[in-house]
Structure formats: C-alpha cells, structure tokens
Structure 1
Amino acid sequence: MLKIDQLELGPVQTNCYIVSNSDKDCLIFDPGEESERIVALLQKKSLNPLAILLTHAHFDHIGAVDDLRERYSIPVYLHYLEREWLGLPNLNGSGKYAMLPDYRIKEADVLLNEERVLQIGPFEMELFHTPGHSPGSVSYSFGTEGFAVVGDTLFRGSIGRTDLIDGSEQKLLQSIRESLLTLPEQMVLFPGHGPDTTPQAEIAGNPFLKNL
C-alpha cells in the first residue's frame, strides 16, 4: 500500500504530494516552493525520491523543481505542450504578478505526450491528459491504490480557473467529465489546492458540474 504525505507550499498554498512505498522509494508531485520543507520531510521519513511529476507548469507548482532535481539527481516529468513554460515567466504566470520573482526553471527531462500507463521504478500509474486549466494539464491515477493526483483541474466544490493563457472552460469540463468523473465513485482525488474529494461528492454537490 502506498502512503501519501501532503505539504501546502508557497504564496498560494499549493499542495505538494509525496507518494511513497514500503521500501521508502517516493515520487514528488508539484513541488511548488519551499524546497527545504520538502527535503526535511524526505529526511524525516528516510525517503528516496525517484522523480518529480508536474500536473502542469504554472509558477505555483514548479518553484522548488530545480533545487530538488539537482539535490537528488532525479528527472522531471511534464506534458510536452508546456515544455517551454518552465523557463518563461509570461507563460508560467509568474510574470503576471509584480510581487513575485520571475520563475525560470530548467527544461523538463521527460516530456509526456500520450495517455498511457506510466512506470517509474516500482510505481505504476495511469496518465490522463486533462487540459482546460492549462493546455498540458495532466492527472495521475493510481487505480489499484484508490487515489489520483489531479492538479488544478478539479477542486472540492469547484473547478480550475480558465482565464489564464490557453485556458478553456469547454476543454476543462470535458476533461472532468471524461477523465475524472468516470473514475470509481470513492476514488480519492488530490487537487492542487484545498482538501481532497471524490467523483461521487463532486457529481452530487459541485455547482459547476450540475449540467454535466
């Protein structure tokens, strides 16, 4: 059975998830900022990170990527449609806010380009392309473990914003309908911000999905 640790990081409290197994291997999802807090958790639990996986390349999900990649010599996974976003503040959104530094992250090591079963060491997950919040948004489903990491596509009682570069409400709702709401009703969905939820809960009570 896999274990999930959650940290709320950075200026907008982005959820970073550490998924680990009994052998102490782990994957890091969306290390948005505060690399020292992530390192402290890894050290406390004696975890060995194998990779960094990004649900998308907005600034609040990528701030600690280079620190962790260099410290642990691990690859970064990102959808190919956002391959240029890591290094361009006008695309990753950091250039939009005067109070933030420009986020310029090195290129991803592995570009994801199709929906498939993704194997990283002992970890196996199903990759879904879930655009709408951003063109390269993806979700990672650990079906046999009963959870998925869904980024900013779907939140408890809400959905991702679509007013950023290349966002699309139509595509977002299609992604939610076809990729997330079709998952098992009780599967735990871990979003990029806020508390977790399930497809059943969102079908029953999310006001943005009442017409789906």
Structure 2
Amino acid sequence: MMKWSQIPLGVLQTNCYIVESPDKSCLIFDPGSEGKKLIKWLTKRELKPIAIFLTHAHFDHIGAVDEVRDYYRIPVYIHEEEEDWLIDPALNGSKFFKMQELIKMKKADYTLKKEETITIEDFTFSIFETPGHSPGSVSYFFEAEGFVISGDALFQNSIGRTDLPGGNHKQLIKSIHEKLLFLPEETVVLSGHGPVTTIGEEMDSNPFLNGF
C-alpha cells in the first residue's frame, strides 16, 4: 500500500509531498525550497525518488527542483501551460516578492498536456487540470489510496489566491466543483499549504464554495 508524507518547506511553509511504495521508491510533489533538508529527509528513510511532479510553477513550489533533480538524476513533470514559468522569475512570481531571491530553474523534462491516468513503475494516478490559481495548475488523484494532491487550488476552509498573474477566481471555483468535489467525500485532500482536509469537510464547511 502506498503511503504519503507531508513536509512543509521554506518561508511560506509550502507542503512538499512524498508518496512512497512498499519497496521504498517514491514520487516527490512540489519541492518548494530547502533542497538539502529534503534530501536529508529522504536519505534518512532510505527512499529512492524516481520523479518530481509539480502542481504548478509558483516560486514557493519550485525552489528546490534543480537541487533535488540533479542529486537524484530524475525527471520533472509540469503542465505545458507553465513550462516557461520555471525559467522566468516574472512568471513564477519570485520577481515580485522582496523577501524571495529570484527563482530560475531549468526547464522540465516532460510536460503534461491533458487529463489522463498514468503509471510510473508502481505508481498509478490521475491528472486533473484545475486552473484558476494559475493557468497550468493540476491536481493528482490517487484513487486506490484515497487522496488527492491539490496544490494551491483547495485548502482547509479556503481556496487558492487568484490575484497573481494568470489567476482567475471564477475559473478556480469551476475547477474545484467540476474536478475535485465530485471525488468521494472521504477523499483526503493534501493541500499546498496548511493542514490536511477531506472533500466532504470542504463541501460542508468551506465558505468559498457555499452557494455556487
């Protein structure tokens, strides 16, 4: 059975997620900062990363991409709408946050072009396009394990901000309702910031989703 771990990284405490299989191979989602800390965490647990997947390319989700990618020699996946954001501080937002140094990573090895279910070694999961927070935002649904990695689309009692370049509030609400809230209510939501929640919890109590 696959299991997941949440590792908050960086000044903004962006949640990086590690999904591991029984044989200790793992996927890394959103290594946003503190690459050495993340590598140390993985080494201590004797995990073997095989790929990095990004929910989107804002600076606080991509800051350790190159350090981790180069250390493990693994590929990086991102939605094609944001493939240029990795290399452009103006697009990834780091240019506009004074506390943040400019973030410029190498291009991703692979781009995600559509919604689909993919299998990489022992891992099978579905890719949902959930734009609104950013144009290339995606969520990763592990149906058999009952969790979805939502990035900055959906949080506990909140949703992603939409005032950054490419953000669209109406589109984000639509994405959440059409792509996430149709999932089983017991589905665990692994958000880009803050605590874990469930689809049912957000359907019942998220003030941004009521009255849609």
* 1:2-47 Cα distance to aligned partner (Å, 9 max, x none): 1111111011000000100100000000000001111111111110
Aligned equivalent of 2:14: 14
Q: Is 1:82 matched up with 2:82?
A: yes
Q: How far is the alpha carbon of 1:122 from its aligned partner?
A: 1.2
Aligned equivalent of 1:93: 93
Question: Larger deviation: 47-56 or 32-41?
Answer: 32-41
Residue 101 of structure 1 aligns with an amino acid whose one-letter code is E
Aligned equivalent of 1:155: 155
Q: Which runs of 5+ in 2 are unaligned?
A: none
Residue 144 of structure 1 aligns to a residue whose secondary structure is: coil
Return the alpha-carbon distance in structure 1 between the equivalents of residues 99 and 174 of structure 2. 34
Aligned equivalent of 1:41: 41
Return the alpha-carbon distance in structure 2 between the equivalents of residues 139 and 197 of structure 1. 15
Return the alpha-carbon distance in structure 2 between the equivalents of residues 148 and 199 of structure 1. 9
Q: How far is the alpha carbon of 1:99 from its aligned partner?
A: 2.3
Residue 106 of structure 1 aligns with an amino acid whose one-letter code is K
Return the alpha-carbon distance in structure 1 between the equivalents of residues 74 and 189 of structure 2. 25
Return the alpha-carbon distance in structure 2 between the equivalents of residues 35 and 141 of structure 1. 25
Q: Is 1:71 matched up with 2:67?
A: no
Residue 145 of structure 1 aligns to a residue whose secondary structure is: coil
Alignment of 1:177-196 (within 5 A): 177-196=177-196
Aligned equivalent of 1:127: 127
Q: How far is the alpha carbon of 1:98 from its aligned partner?
A: 2.0
Q: How far is the alpha carbon of 1:100 from its aligned partner?
A: 1.4
Residue 148 of structure 2 aligns to a residue whose secondary structure is: strand
Q: How far is the alpha carbon of 1:180 from its aligned partner?
A: 0.5
Alignment of 1:21-40 (within 5 A): 21-40=21-40
Return the alpha-carbon distance in structure 1 between the equivalents of residues 90 and 170 of structure 2. 23
* 1:63-100 Cα distance to aligned partner (Å, 9 max, x none): 00000110111000000000100011110000001221
Residue 201 of structure 2 aligns to a residue whose secondary structure is: helix
Aligned equivalent of 1:206: 206
TM-score normalised by L of structure 1:
0.99
Question: Larger deviation: 31-40 or 132-141?
Answer: 31-40
Residue 43 of structure 2 aligns with an amino acid whose one-letter code is Q
Return the alpha-carbon distance in structure 1 between the equivalents of residues 164 and 94 of structure 2. 12
Residue 9 of structure 1 aligns with an amino acid whose one-letter code is L
Aligned equivalent of 1:138: 138
Runs of 4+ in 1 over 4 A off after TM superposition: none
Q: How far is the alpha carbon of 1:125 from its aligned partner?
A: 0.2
Residue 161 of structure 2 aligns with an amino acid whose one-letter code is R
Return the alpha-carbon distance in structure 2 between the equivalents of residues 15 and 90 of structure 1. 22
Identity across matched positions, percent: 53
Aligned equivalent of 2:104: 104
Return the alpha-carbon distance in structure 2 between the equivalents of residues 208 and 31 of structure 1. 28
Residue 184 of structure 2 aligns with an amino acid whose one-letter code is P
Q: How far is the alpha carbon of 1:120 from its aligned partner?
A: 1.4
Residue 74 of structure 1 aligns to a residue whose secondary structure is: coil
